[in-house]
Every structure is written in structure tokens, then in C-alpha cells.
A and B are shown apart, each in its own frame.
Chain A
Amino acid sequence: MAAVAERVVAGAADTFARRHRLRWYEALPWAAAIAGYFAFPDYLALGAQILATIVFALSVDLVLGYGGIVTLGQAAFFGTGAYTAGLLAAHGFGAPVLGLVIAAAAAALVGLVSGVIVLRTHGLTQLMMTLMVAVMLSAVANKANTITGGADGLQGMVVQPVFGLFRFGLYGNTAYFYCLAVLFLCWLAMRRIVHSPFGRSLTGIRENEARMHAIGSPVFVRRLVAYTISAAMAGISGALVAQTTQFVATDALGFERSGNVLIMLLLGGIGQLYGAFIGVPLYMIAQDRFAAIDPVYWYFWIGLLLVLMVMFARGGVLGIVDRIGALIRRRQ
């Protein structure tokens, strides 16, 4: 009897301690990315955009899904990264990896400074504050059109080969694998963060901020760190898009970008790390297909898809998977 009890004891704590171990299904996105490369060689440009946008969605998942910070202004950091990489490449500093690093740092700085103000507010006020930061940056980019090119876009970006070896060519091979490699690194970082005590404490803040204060957690600092990391990741995404398309315009900072990424994340599932990997391809491929089939009303079909999702599939695709899994377990 005692032996049985002991095994149960070890069981619960062991299961808990093993949560961060890799599972087989975590290899699926990467297998799909490699398979996609061979299956759709004509769509590598779209593929690269999808991969870069997954990085963007991951950045939103960190603050929204884990930190519980509702943001409508994530494009502020995406745009900062895009313009930083763009301006660097337009002024002779076209080494892509260096551009990424500097873009991440610039976006992190904007995240840190704006976060100090934004994160002092809550609820609707906070939502509006995040929006304001993006709107203000967008206005600045528009006003400074001699530097940024304004709505017409930044001219004259020259992006050098990756590590001086891999040229960004016409077929998009380099862009695809460049984005895939960066996404992989961002996923590794993100995975490490959400499974760390820091990441768990973010979840605690999302679940019950009052109790986190009451267990002595420096809630504001935790949120600010998360916000800054998230901004850096969004900046990397912006830089990826700028470098692979060799173009940046003010829509990089636009409200539509902040809104769309939320929709993509909702489609996939929020706060589960893999929602971004499902929602982004789903949305962007659907957008591409709908636009081809019905160029005038494609937004209507996206809207219909969303309405159905909200009515019948809360928690996105991952929510559906969870429910099916629970059903199978109950049968057994």
C-alpha cells in the first residue's frame, strides 16, 4: 500500500517536472515547412512571408496569450524593425543578420520605453495606449517621408547575401530558408521562455494579477520584460519581411497589421505556443486563395470564416484538437 502511494507521489511531481520535454508533435511544423518547400516550389515567396509572420504572431502570443496584455499596437514594433532593417540596407549596411540584430534592438528599445507607460494602465485604457503608440509612430514615418519614403515606400534597399554566401534570388529559396532558420531560433527562445519560471509567472499574472502581487511577484517588471522581448521578436519579423521583399512602407506600422495578426492567432489558438504555427498559414493561404477566386469579396469570406470560428470553435484550431483529444480519452 505504501509502495503504491509512493508511486503516485512520484507520478504527479514527475509529470509536472517533465512538462518542458519535447513531444513528438512539436516536430510537425518543421516537417510541414520542409515538405511545403518541395511540394510548392512556386509559392516560396508566400511561404517566406508566412514564416516571417509566424514570428510576428509568436511575439503577440507572448504578451497576449501568456502575459494577458491585450495589444492593438504590435505593428509599432514590427514597423520599427522593418524600417531599421530597411534604412540600414538602403544606406550600405545590407548584411541581413546584422540588420536583424539591430532591428531587434531598436524594436526592443521602443517596447521598453512605451511599455513603461502602456503597462501602467489596464483594460480598455491599455488597449487604446498600445494603439496610440503605433498610430504615433505611423504618423512620424509619414511625416519623415524624405527619410522613409512615406506611403510610397522606402527606395533603394540593397540586401547582401546571408553570411556573404546565400544571395536573395528570384526563386525565393534563400528567403524561405532564411525565414525558416530565424523562425526556428525564435521558436526555441519562445519555448524556453514559456517553460521557464518567468514564463510560468507570466501565466500567473494572466490568470490572477491580484494573487501574483500577493505572492510577492514584481508584476510590473515581469510584464515589462515580456513586453520588451515581444517587441524585439516583432521587430525581427518586420526586418525579415523588409529584407526578403526589399521594401518597407508605412503600412508596416498600420492598424490593419496589428489587427490581422490577432485574427490569425485567434484562428490557431492563443497562449499555446503553436497557435501561431496553425493560424498564420491558415489565414494567409486562405487569403491568397480567396483573393484568387474572388478578388472583390475575399474579405467577406475571411469574415465568414471568423464568425463560424467564434461561434463554433472557441480556442481556435488547437481548441478543437484539445476537445477531440479529451473525447478520445473519455472513450478509453
Chain B
Amino acid sequence: MTGAATPPALETRGLCKSFGALTVASRIDFRLARGARQALIGPNGAGKTSFVNLVTGVLKPSDGRILLDAADITPLSQAQRVKRGIVRTFQITTLFRGLSVLENVTLAVSERLGSGGDIHRAAGSRRHIIDEAYALLERLALHDEALRPVKELAYGRQRLVEIAVALGLAPKVLLLDEPAAGVPSSESGTIVETIERLPADIALLIIEHDMDLVFRLARRITVLVAGQILVEGTPQEIAADARVRQVYLGERAHA
């Protein structure tokens, strides 16, 4: 844990969520330090996606609180939380498929700068927005495909656009939901490198199945099992933890 003086970028206290008899989050106390490189792992059905949905405001918690920079954001809507800097990507590519790559990112930048609802001027006349979006594409080496519809891109490239759209929102906390899911291993290297090069001030939480990727990117790992945090620690601690091996790694070895 970092010192108590600086509050964590993101924190949940006693976070609970249940759908009837099904409990997907049970008293989760979670902390994500500023500039963290942390992974959230757990077997299928552990509640990882529900946790992301709770933090981003898609789901309302049954109980507990969510804090961003020590400020309570529990009652805020999804859109309001994005404005505060909590941004996510999706496990299954969730993009504007018929629109160009540049348009995808421009939409995000435009919303962040509060001109997404502007009806009086042409979108093209907002040159600073387009230039910022384009600069972002250059950073991710996507600019050669700027004007191509997203659906025409290779899946690995689409996963990069997924990250580019999120970066267009200038996140403080970025939740990457299986960023390399479905990408052939020959292309996943680019995605890993892109994540490694993300600005250090962004607190990253990577939700991931791929253990190679987790151990390469994360400096801390949180293990979620049945809606509860089983253990949290450094990659070495997690790899050596007997309970983790049993419920998670062991299960994978048998599969």
C-alpha cells in the first residue's frame, strides 16, 4: 500500500451487489493507487465484469461506496463518472463500427471537451478536436488507417482503437477489460507495448484471463473469487499463494 497521506485514485468500501439470490459483489474493499499498474483476475463468474460495471456506474450497488480521489462518486451516473475520469474499455470490441477510426476518437474527445451536444457549428470546424484525436492515433500508430471504417480493420487494430477511444477521454483511472481478448498472439505484442507506454499518471486496472499478459503488465494483482477479494499482492506473492493456485491457477491447469 502507498502511504496513507495520498488517497488512492480509486477506492471501494464494502461494495455489495446482488441480483436476487445471486451475489456478484460481496463487501469488496478495493484500492487502486495513483499511477497503479494493477490486474484483477479470477475464474469465470468471479464477478470481474460486474465489478467494472459497478465502478463505472452501469450497475447501482446494493450497498457500499465508491470513491475517486477520496470523493464519493456512488450516486453519480455513468456519464458523470466519465467526466470525472473513470474510463473503461470493453472485453468485446464496442466501437462505432461503421464510422472511421478518426471519427471514433473524435466523438470521445468532443464529449470530453463538452461540445458533443453542439448543434450550431459543423463538427469539422472544431479543428482542435480533430487534431487532438489525430495526434492520439499517431501515438498508437493508427493514423494510416484514420479514415477507414473501424469494421474494415483487423481485429488486433480494432482492439487498439478501443484503447484510443478511451484515451480520448483523458482518463485518471482506466479499466482495461481483457484488452487482448480474441487477438492472435502474433498481434497481441503491439497491444501489450501500447499499454506499457501509457502515461504513468493514469491508474490502470487490467481485467485479464491471460496470465502471461498479467505478469508482464501488472505490479500488483487482486484475485476475485465468488464476488469477494481472496487475496491481493505482488505477482510473486500471488504466484506463490496456495489458495490462488487451488481456486484459479489449479483450475486452469486442469482445464
CB distance from B185 to the nearest CB of A (A): 26
Beta-carbon contacts under 8 Å, A167-215 to B? 192-193, 195-201, 203-204, 207-208, 210-215
* A198-B147 contact, Cβ under 8 Å, with A17-B127, A204-B107, A208-B97: no
Partner of B118, one of A198, A204, A216: A198
Q: Are B117 and A198 in contact (CB under 8 A)?
A: yes
Interface string of B143-157 (1 = CB under 8 A from A): 110110000000000
Q: Are A214 and B88 in contact (CB under 8 A)?
A: yes
Beta-carbon contacts under 8 Å, B7-35 to A? none
* A217-B94 contact, Cβ under 8 Å, with A13-B102, A201-B107: no
A15 to B130, CA, bound (A): 11
Q: Is B131 an interface residue (CB 8 A)?
A: yes
Q: Are B117 and A201 in contact (CB under 8 A)?
A: yes
CB distance from B75 to the nearest CB of A (A): 16
User: Which residues of A have CB within 8 Å of B116?
Assistant: 197-198, 201, 217, 222
Q: Are A12 and B134 in contact (CB under 8 A)?
A: yes
Beta-carbon contacts under 8 Å, B56-103 to A? 56, 58, 78-83, 87-88, 90, 94-100, 102-103
Q: Are A218 and B107 in contact (CB under 8 A)?
A: no
Q: In terms of DSSP, what is the predominant structure of the interface of chain A?
A: helix
B residues lining the A interface (CB < 8 Å): 56, 58, 78-83, 87-88, 90, 94-100, 102-103, 106-108, 110-112, 115-127, 130-131, 134, 138, 143-144, 146-147, 165, 168-169
Q: Is A221 an interface residue (CB 8 A)?
A: yes
A203 to B147, CA, bound (A): 16
Q: Are A12 and B122 in contact (CB under 8 A)?
A: no
Q: Are A213 and B134 in contact (CB under 8 A)?
A: no
Q: Are A214 and B94 in contact (CB under 8 A)?
A: yes
* A221-B102 contact, Cβ under 8 Å, with A20-B122, A195-B123, A204-B107: no
Partner of B124, one of A18, A208, A214, A218: A18
A residues lining the B interface (CB < 8 Å): 8-9, 12-13, 15-21, 192-193, 195-201, 203-204, 207-208, 210-219, 221-222, 225
User: Which residues of A have CB within 8 Å of B88?
Assistant: 214
Partner of B122, one of A192, A211, A215, A221: A192
Q: Are B123 and A197 in contact (CB under 8 A)?
A: yes
Q: Are B112 and A216 in contact (CB under 8 A)?
A: yes
Q: Are B117 and A218 in contact (CB under 8 A)?
A: yes
Q: Are A208 and B117 in contact (CB under 8 A)?
A: no
CB distance from A175 to the nearest CB of B (A): 31
Q: Are B123 and A200 in contact (CB under 8 A)?
A: yes
Q: Are A9 and B134 in contact (CB under 8 A)?
A: yes
Q: Are A211 and B95 in contact (CB under 8 A)?
A: yes
User: Which residues of B have CB within 8 Å of A12?
Assistant: 102, 134, 143, 146-147
Q: Are A196 and B99 in contact (CB under 8 A)?
A: no
User: Which residues of A have CB within 8 Å of B56?
Assistant: 214
Q: Are A204 and B96 in contact (CB under 8 A)?
A: yes
A195 to B97, CA, bound (A): 19
Q: Are B117 and A221 in contact (CB under 8 A)?
A: yes
Q: Are A216 and B134 in contact (CB under 8 A)?
A: no
Q: Are A207 and B99 in contact (CB under 8 A)?
A: yes
A12 to B102, CA, bound (A): 9
Q: Are B112 and A19 in contact (CB under 8 A)?
A: no
A170 to B161, CA, bound (A): 60
User: Which residues of A have CB within 8 Å of B83?
Assistant: 216
Between A and B, 25 residue pairs with Cβ closer than 8 Å are A12-B146, A13-B102, A16-B146, A17-B124, A20-B125, A192-B120, A192-B122, A193-B119, A195-B123, A196-B118, A196-B120, A197-B116, A198-B118, A198-B119, A200-B106, A201-B116, A203-B99, A207-B95, A214-B87, A214-B90, A215-B82, A215-B107, A215-B168, A217-B79, A222-B116
Partner of A201, one of B97, B98, B110, B112: B110
A214 to B124, CA, bound (A): 23
A270 to B51, CA, bound (A): 39
List 16 additional A-B contacts (Cβ < 8 Å) besides A12-B143, A210-B90. A13-B130, A16-B146, A19-B124, A21-B124, A195-B122, A197-B115, A207-B99, A208-B97, A211-B96, A214-B56, A215-B165, A216-B80, A216-B112, A217-B107, A217-B111, A218-B117
